[in-house]
Structures are given as C-alpha cells and as structure tokens.
C-alpha cells in the first residue's frame, strides 16, 4: 500500500516537474526547467522540429524483453524498473503516451524469441533485451520484421552488426575495453596488470579481449590473466593466489558486481590488496544490501551512471526509484530510463503518429531520426549522446573512484 502511495506521489511530482519543463522548452538552460531530463532535453533533442515537444501523438506500444526470473533476473528487473519510471514521467506530460509491456525471457535466447513473438502482434517498437545472447536472436527477428529496437544493456557488437534497426543505449564492449586500457595507461594506474574475467560470459570476454588488444598496442604490462566459468562460482582463492604471486598491482575486473564482491571479499581474507578497476557492470556494488564499504574503498570503475550524483535529474530519478522499488538504481536501471526518454524524443522529433502508423513506418522514421546526426539526448548516463549508423552510442565514459562509500569522479 505504501508502495502505491509513494508511486502516486512520485507520479504527481513528476507531473508537476514535467509540466514546468514542457512549458519551459524555450527557456535557457540552467534555470528551474533543468530539474529533470524531461525539462531540458526536448529543446536539444528535437532541434529539427524547432524545439517543439509533443509533435508525436497517440499511444506508443513498447514491447520490453528481459530476464525477470532465473539467474540474471536482477539485471532484467533493473532495466524494466528504470524504464517504468521514465514511462510514468512521459505519460504525465500528456502528448505522446507510452504503454510498456515487459515480458520475461529468463536470460535464454529461445524464451526471448518466444517473448518477442508474443509481443510482435501488439508492439510498435521493441525495448530490450537485457543480455547479449537473447538480444542477438531478437535483433535478427526485429530486423526481418522491421521493428525499431533499442537495447538498454546488450553491449556486444554482434547485437547491432549488419542490422540498421537495432540501437544500443550502453557502450559497446570493444569501445569500453579499449577506453579502460587507455585510461589505465594515461593515468598511470598500474605497473603490472592482472585480469580476472568470466570466460563463459559474452560481455566479460568481449571487454577482456578489447582490453588485452589495446594494452598490447599501447604498451600496458599485463602480467597475469585468470578466468572463472560462472557468475555463481563462489570460490576464487586459486585465481587470487596466482594473481598475488604475479605481483599484480592493478586488477582489471570486466565483470558484474556480484562475483566482484565475492572476489574483493576473498582477496582481503587472503591478504591480497591490489588496486581494482572495473567497468559499467561493476556499478551496483555499493547498493548491495549489507555490504561492507571498506572492502571496496578505492575501487575504480568506468560507469556512465552515478547514483550518488547531486544533479537534479539523478536525484529525482533515484528518489522515485527508491520510493517505487526499495533500493538504489544501478546503471541498468539508468540505461533503461534513458532508453525510454531517447525513444520519446526521437518519436517527437520524427513526428510519430503512434496510433495510425505501422510498426514498419515507425521503424524507418526512428532510424532516420536516430542516425540523423543532429539528434542528441541528454540523460542520466551522459549528455549529448548520439548514435552512429551502426546503432552504437557515443557517450563519454566517466571514471569514478569509491571513497567513503560514494563515487568520486576522477
């Protein structure tokens, strides 16, 4: 009951903020209209339409897909919940309405295709999927059926490769792995670098491959690599022993925060204390209920999103998220939130008439807008985000360091 009440309050707040935003589109940046992304962005997002928000009409049916059950449910739920917050805000604006129908794929390709087939009779655009392998399969379907697809978090290049209709809200793996290597080199973070990665996970191996390739190019000294076969593997003592024996002083961890927490915990028990460097999958490590902040003190990561940032857009999102779902949002949720707003701005810029246009027409119109070159979105995970014709996003990774239990931008 409390949840619904707070949800209603959040909605009301969103409405009041957004209403002020909608009327303030022509106002200069930096005034009250800046308090949510809804307020500031229509002006930037739809320059082609002369900054007029609300050019799109009708109800856009967004078919969402991601794991709500099974071993990777935590990521799917986050992408769904982040999107739900945005949908609530968008619908409160009046104008174009979003209807998000989110289906469970349990993280399995076959189930994701089933979910897509269930959605395709009613959806106008596809949002998802959360994880890479299901996303590749759904992307092949949407490409044939001509649905516009935006994934919040499937970061492999195999997702968008050769498909003009698929766009990513997250960094690609090669892009992120290479910039991580560059960052380590430029800031002289480590002399002998170790890597630990999940060799059964496409995301983790993708980042590792890109990091290693770039490290060789720019002369980073990678002394030891260790792998593990499953995020549910609890024990890392052998890997940590090997890394310690190689005198690793910086450990690159292109993995999710759940195994990462087990690793830092065990490293401490074994008396091994390198500097840690993670990627966007590491975001969320501070939000684990009951976690010990001392273990991750000094840990560095590249993340597009910082839940403890104090800008108005982030605080508003975090408040609403906490009220609705208990717990802090991570970058999956933030990418989901931004994905919905990106869709909204693009739909407005393209003047989508959601009730009367076919999904094929919506797809072509949105592709044209996303790749037009002057379409950019300001969101929680970056400002001035643009997309290439390949569907890959361009946004600046931000490196942060954990100090006293919060992110500090480096």
Partner 1 sequence: MQFLSNLIGGVSLGSVYALIALGYTMVYGIARMLNFAHGDVIMVGAYVVFFAFCSGGMNPLLAILIAMAVCTLLGVTIERIAYRPLREAPSLAVLITAIGVSYLLQNGALLLWSANPRAFTSVVSIPPISLFGGRLTIPGNTLVNVVVCLVIMVGLWLFVNRTTPGHAMQAVSEDRGAAQLMGINVNATISLTFAIGSALAAVAGALLCSSYPMLQPTTGAMPGIKAFTAAVFGGIGSIPGALLGGILLGVIENLSKAYISTQISDAIVFLVLIVILLIKPTGLLGKKRVVKV
Partner 2 sequence: MLQRIKTMRSSTRSNLVTYGIVLGFYAAVQLLNAAGLLSSAFIGQLVPICAYVMLAISLNLTVGFLGELSLGHAGFMSIGAFSGVSFWMATQGRIPAWLGVLCALVIGAVCAGIFGLLIGVPVLRLEGDYLAIVTLAFGQIIVNVINALYIGIDARGLHISLKDAASLNLAEDGKVIINGAMGITNIPKASTFTLGIVLVVLTLAVVLNLIHSRAGRAITAIRDNEIAAQSIGINLTKYKLMAFIISAVFAGVAGVLYALNFTSLVSRRFDYNTSITILMFVVLGGMGSIRGSIIAAAALTVLPELMRSFGMESYRMLIYAIVLIAMMLFNSAPAAIEWRKKTAQKLQGVWAAHKKPAGTGSGKGAA
Query: Applying CB under 8 A, which residues contact partner 1?
Result: 69-71, 73-74, 77, 199, 226-230, 232-235, 237-239, 241-242, 245, 257-259, 261-262, 265-266, 269-271, 287-292, 326-327
Segment (H or E) for 278: strand 275-278
Check: CB of residue 349 under 8 Å from CB of residue 73: no
Instruction: Show contacts with partner 2 in window 89-108 (CB under 8 A).
Output: 102-104, 106, 108
In this complex, which beta carbon is closest to partner 1, that of residue 242 or of residue 406? 242
In this complex, which beta carbon is closest to partner 2, that of residue 208 or of residue 395? 208
Among partner 1, partner 2, none, partner that 259 touches (CB below 5 to 8 angstroms by kind): partner 1
d(CA 194, CA 236): 14
Check: CB of residue 176 under 8 Å from CB of residue 206: no
Among partner 1, partner 2, none, partner that 289 touches (CB below 5 to 8 angstroms by kind): partner 1
Residue ranges of E strands in 115-160: 125-128, 148-151
Say how many residues make up the chain.
410
State both tokens at 152. 């919040």
Rule CB under 8 A: say whether 223 interacts with partner 2. Answer: no
In this complex, which beta carbon is closest to partner 2, that of residue 21 or of residue 107? 107
Q: C-beta of 74: minimal distance to partner 1 in Å? A: 4
In this complex, which beta carbon is closest to partner 2, that of residue 114 or of residue 315? 114
C-alpha to C-alpha distances, 303 to 20, 205, 254, 283, nearest whole angstrom: 30, 18, 12, 7
Task: Name which of 149, 91, 151 is nearest 123 in CA terms.
Answer: 149
Check: CB of residue 399 under 8 Å from CB of residue 189: no
Rule CB under 8 A: say whether 110 interacts with partner 2. Answer: yes
Task: Name which of 130, 132, 64 is nearest 99 in CA terms.
Answer: 64
Q: C-beta of 288: minimal distance to partner 2 in Å? A: 22
Among partner 2, partner 1, none, partner that 140 touches (CB below 5 to 8 angstroms by kind): partner 2
Stretch that binds partner 2, among 113-121, 262-270, 294-302, 332-340 (CB under 8 A): 113-121
Residue 97, SS3 per DSSP: strand
Stretch that binds partner 2, among 192-200, 257-265, 268-276, 328-336 (CB under 8 A): 192-200
Binder of partner 2 out of 38, 136, 189, 300 (CB under 8 A)? 136
CB within 8 A of 272, min separation 6: which ones?
A: 240, 243, 244
Tell me the sheet residues that pair with 277.
252, 300
Where along the sequence are the contacts to partner 2 (CB under 8 A)?
Answer: 68-70, 102-104, 106, 108-111, 113-118, 120-121, 132-133, 136-137, 139-140, 156, 158, 161-162, 198-202, 204-206, 208-209, 212-213, 229
């Amino acid at each position: 009951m409390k949840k619904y009440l707070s949800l209603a309050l959040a909605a009301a707040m969103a409405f009041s903020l957004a209403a002020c935003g909608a009327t303030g589109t022509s106002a200069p940046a930096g005034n009250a209209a800046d308090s949510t992304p809804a307020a500031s962005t229509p002006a930037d997002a739809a320059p082609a339409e002369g900054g007029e928000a609300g050019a799109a009409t009708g109800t856009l049916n967004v078919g969402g897909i991601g794991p709500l059950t099974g071993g990777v449910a935590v990521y799917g739920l986050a992408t769904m919940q982040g999107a739900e917050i945005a949908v609530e805000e968008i619908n409160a604006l009046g104008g174009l309405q979003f209807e998000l129908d989110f289906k469970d794929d349990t993280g399995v390709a076959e189930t994701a295709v089933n979910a897509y087939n269930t959605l395709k009779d009613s959806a106008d655009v596809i949002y998802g999927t959360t994880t890479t392998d299901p996303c590749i399969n759904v992307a092949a379907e949407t490409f044939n059926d001509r649905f516009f697809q935006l994934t919040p978090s499937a970061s492999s290049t195999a997702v968008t490769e050769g498909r003009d209709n698929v766009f990513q809200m997250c960094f690609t793996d090669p892009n992120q792995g290479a910039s991580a290597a560059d960052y380590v080199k430029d800031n002289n973070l480590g002399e002998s670098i170790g890597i630990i990665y999940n060799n059964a996970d496409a995301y983790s191996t993708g980042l590792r491959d890109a990091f290693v390739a770039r490290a060789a190019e720019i002369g980073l000294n990678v002394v030891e690599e260790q792998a593990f076969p499953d995020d549910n593997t609890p024990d890392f003592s052998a890997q940590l022993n090997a890394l310690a024996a190689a005198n690793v002083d910086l450990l690159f961890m292109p993995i999710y925060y759940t195994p990462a927490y087990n690793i830092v915990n065990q490293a401490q028990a074994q008396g091994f204390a390198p500097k840690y460097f993670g990627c966007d999958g590491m975001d969320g490590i501070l939000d684990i209920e009951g976690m010990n902040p001392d273990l991750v003190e000094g840990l560095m990561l590249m993340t597009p999103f910082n839940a403890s940032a104090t800008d108005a857009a982030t605080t508003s999102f975090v408040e609403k998220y906490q009220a609705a779902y208990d717990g802090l949002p991570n970058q999956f949720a933030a990418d989901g939130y931004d994905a919905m707003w990106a869709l909204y701005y693009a739909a407005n810029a393209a003047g989508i008439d959601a009730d009367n246009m076919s999904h094929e027409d919506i797809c072509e119109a949105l592709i044209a807008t996303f790749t037009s070159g002057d379409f950019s979105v300001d969101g929680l995970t970056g400002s001035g985000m643009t997309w290439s014709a390949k569907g890959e996003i361009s946004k600046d990774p931000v490196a942060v360091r954990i100090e006293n239990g919060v992110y500090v931008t480096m």
